[in-house]
Amino acid sequence: MENEEKKSIDFADVMDWDDELSEQDPVNDKPIVLKEGDYNFLVTKLEKGRFPGSEKLPAAPKATISIQVYCEGDTVAYSFDLLLIKLEGFEKRLYGFFRSIGQKEAGKAYKMNWDAVIGSHGRGHFRPKNITNKNGEVKQ
């Protein structure tokens, strides 16, 4: 068996400094479900896009935010969309996000500073959400 291991190591492909890693991260194959609670996070990415609209909602600008949540000595990657729609639920999410990263004070008007979002640290309340996948399986 030792010879088999040595042989597979001898014939393994090696990487070069300019190689690209695949999109599949072997470390994070299994999603981590956070327990409900308050966690610190870091905003790592912001993508501006467009929501095409639906039967119930108009087309609107969309921000996709990626964050790293710090949890029990580990980090969990998470991303979510913010739609720029002037409806109560959508505005609450925008207000909550900018308050959580310390850019909006309660009770004061605020012009959203998207250029200052990446690298911002914040604290937010997270809770597991049940999602039904295309196979009808309920997952968190």
Instruction: Say if 34 falls within a structural domain.
Output: yes
Give residue 25's pLDDT.
Answer: 53
Give residue 133's pLDDT.
Answer: 81
What's the average pLDDT block by block, 10 residues per block, for the chain (140 residues)? 46 59 54 81 94 89 93 84 87 90 84 92 86 82
Give residue 30's pLDDT.
Answer: 58
* Number of domains making up the chain: 1
Instruction: Say if 9 falls within a structural domain.
Output: no
Instruction: Say if 16 falls within a structural domain.
Output: no
Q: Could you give the CA distance from residue 9 to residue 129 in angstroms, rounded to a whole number?
A: 42
Instruction: Say if 19 falls within a structural domain.
Output: no
The domain in which residue 120 lies consists of 30-139
Cβ(34)–Cβ(126) below 8 Å: yes
Instruction: Say if 13 falls within a structural domain.
Output: no
Instruction: Say if 87 falls within a structural domain.
Output: yes
Instruction: Say if 18 falls within a structural domain.
Output: no
CB neighbourhood size of 49 (10 A)? 10
Model pTM score: 0.70
Give residue 53's pLDDT.
Answer: 87
Q: Could you give the CA distance from residue 139 to residue 133 in angstroms, rounded to a whole number?
A: 7
Instruction: Say if 23 falls within a structural domain.
Output: no
In terms of Cα–Cα distance, which of 92, 62, 91, 95 is closest to 79? 62
Q: Could you give the CA distance from residue 60 to residue 127 in angstroms, rounded to a whole number?
A: 27
Give residue 23's pLDDT.
Answer: 59
